[in-house]
Amino acid sequence: MQNNQPTLNKRAQGWLNFLHLKATTPDDWSEEGEPNEWWDKTSTAPMCSFPRFDLQESTYAIGLMADKTPAWREVYSEILDEIAERSITYWAAVDWLSQFGHDPDRPNYPEYWKGTLIPEEFWGNYDAPGWTANGVAPWGFHMDPIGADGNLFFKGWLNLTQSLHTYVSGYDKWSSPFSVAGAYSSRFEWTQHQLADHLHQQWSKTPMGPHCENTKAWPFCLSAAGLGLMMYDKIFDNQFHSSYSNWLSFTKDKYYGFGKNGSLEWVTMYFDEINNHHHRTVPTHGLAVAFYAKPQDPQFAELLYRGAINFLGWDKPSIPITNEFMSDPRMFALGLTMSREFGDQVTHERLKKYAEENFEPQFFGLNDSQFGFWFNLGEKWPRGQLSALAMCAEVCEPKSWEDLFNKPNLTKFYSPSIQCVDYPALFVEMAFHDDQNGQLYLSVCDGNKTKTNQKTSIEVFNLPDANSITVLCDGEEFKNYTVIDNSKISINTEVKKHIFEIKTGYYLSKEQEQNLNKKLREFKSLESNSARQSSNFISRLILPSNLNNCGCC
């Protein structure tokens, strides 16, 4: 097989299996229930110790994996749909819906928060990061977690999650009205288009950026919100991302401090407009911003990344990597992934060695078919938020995080693809259609060893002429397939390692690809709001009528 398409390694396969289990196992995120214990509501307290951070951070590796196997999308779409559904529940916004007024626990804050998380001059009379303070002056009480003046981190990441789901699946589900949980069991109706417009409008009126917790605007969260608007614009041909670009230009010299030699000296953790306070922290925090900024402003993101690793000495082989001054593994996980994204081989190899020794990588579950990082915490499940960030390094190639948002693959919905895979018994390592050469490359393997060597089938769809294809299996001519109709076949195979190469006869030149993307964007930009209520924007454009119509699933 002559192609350079990357495959998903065993760890990526195991992480996907675990995420699929987490996402498809029913649990109750309503006011009356509680998320399953494997959803991480513990990491990086007090700011991130809520289960929605596990939801949103679990989407990143899914987006990267989906771009690695663009001809196989069904499992990624299912996981992202389940995550997005949980992201509009009570527990997704539990902080905004339960933390009213000032924090009554102020007198009991740990002493080490003084100066590190809370300004010394306000100690004892200031809410810690992570306390949303819904209802405090001058904003008042807001029952709607999206419509609120604050709560940027909830709605910014919600838009990012919905945008990734739409991009991967081609299903614009969130263009239709959905109901988001509000305070005191209330419900509020929104569409993603309204959500994105609301974010843009709020941001445009707030040069320093909308706040998350009342009083606090976070460059970290705002950068994630900008990334959501970036993907939204790519899908729906809009200009909402301009609010991020304008904000970044306005705040670069306010939220970050650089020395005369260009070295990063400090980063604003959060800005309190009421008290005109920039809560500055060490350059390490630049990693958190750089991760989200990389697709949006690669040069600035690299300044933050280089400044952080230089401060930590991670790029200096003579300096040992330790957690002496940084016990929370979050920045290590971000550094591991970002060093891979930037192609920083020296730093990546050093952090990879550190991760192998300290992140406790482990296969587990049914026949050891799942994988995660346990971080030596003695818990029953891999720590979700931290594992999700570290796992991006397992599926990331240099620039692939940047390309996910800057070069979204929309023509994949036209190309021959596969579906109806008996997942997780059968795993897809590679699924890629070379549109220039008219070849579909497919590699499968035993997923969880529950159906080893048993018969199974894989459906190939979007074929221009199912009666004119040629199939190779492990390098040999292969005839054991059934023609379903002119655009579909069903490959009859077994649950074991196989490599298929299918001459599909579908071609798309670079020029045609550009024209096709233009057509997509032109169509979507002309859609009325009522037209956007349809279930699948790609299916309204694509010529094969059978897309997302898997009769055997």
Give the start-end residues of each E strand in 303-425.
Answer: 361-364, 370-373, 417-419
- The answer to whether the CB of 39 falls within 8 A of the CB of 381 is no
Q: How much is the pLDDT for 326?
A: 83
pLDDT band at 532; cut points 50, 70, 90: very low
Mean pLDDT over each residue of the chain, to the nearest integer? 93
Q: How much is the pLDDT for 529?
A: 41
Q: How much is the pLDDT for 518?
A: 67
Q: How much is the pLDDT for 520?
A: 64
Q: How much is the pLDDT for 551?
A: 47
pLDDT band at 198; cut points 50, 70, 90: very high
pTM for the whole thing?
A: 0.94
> 408: closest CA among 193, 234, 240, 196?
234
Q: How much is the pLDDT for 510?
A: 72
Q: How much is the pLDDT for 17?
A: 98
pLDDT tens by residue, 5-57: 789 999 999 999 999 999 999 999 999 999 999 999 999 999 999 999 999 99
pLDDT tens by residue, 330-356: 999 999 999 999 999 999 999 999 999
pLDDT tens by residue, 372-417: 999 999 999 999 999 999 999 999 999 999 999 999 999 999 999 9
Within 13 Å of residue 239, how many CA atoms lie on the same side as its CB? Answer: 3
Length in residues, the chain: 553
Lowest mean pLDDT across 92-96, 235-239, 490-494, 530-534: 530-534
- Give the whole-number percent of the chain exceeding pLDDT 90: 89
pLDDT band at 549; cut points 50, 70, 90: very low
- What contacts 62, CB < 8 A, 6 or more positions away? 16, 19, 76, 79, 80, 164, 168
pLDDT band at 516; cut points 50, 70, 90: confident
Q: Helix, strand, coil proportions of the chain in percent (round to 5)?
A: 40, 15, 40
Mean pLDDT of 191-215: 97
**H-run or E-run covering 499:** strand 498-503
C-alpha distances (whole Å) from 399 to each of 58, 59, 297, 300 are 19, 18, 12, 15
pLDDT band at 89; cut points 50, 70, 90: very high
Q: How much is the pLDDT for 541?
A: 39
> 3: closest CA among 358, 443, 370?
443
Strand pairing category for 498-503 and 370-373: unpaired
pLDDT tens by residue, 126-173: 999 999 999 999 999 999 999 999 999 999 999 999 999 999 999 999
Rg (CA), the chain: 24
**H-run or E-run covering 272:** strand 264-272
Asked if residue 533 has pLDDT above 80, the reply is: no
pLDDT tens by residue, 273-291: 999 999 999 999 999 999 9
pLDDT tens by residue, 475-485: 999 999 999 99
CA distance 232 to 21: 28
Contacts 24+ apart (CB under 8 A), 450-453: 450/366, 450/367, 450/425, 451/422, 451/425, 451/426, 451/495, 452/495, 452/496, 453/494, 453/495, 453/496
C-alpha distances (whole Å) from 108 to each of 105, 117, 119, 125 are 5, 14, 16, 12
Please give the span between the terminal C-alpha atoms of the chain, in angstroms, as a whole number.
30
> 103: closest CA among 88, 90, 117?
117
Q: How much is the pLDDT for 523?
A: 54
The backbone torsions φ and ψ at residue 551, rounded to the nearest 5 degrees and listed phi first, read: -65, -15
Q: How much is the pLDDT for 325?
A: 76
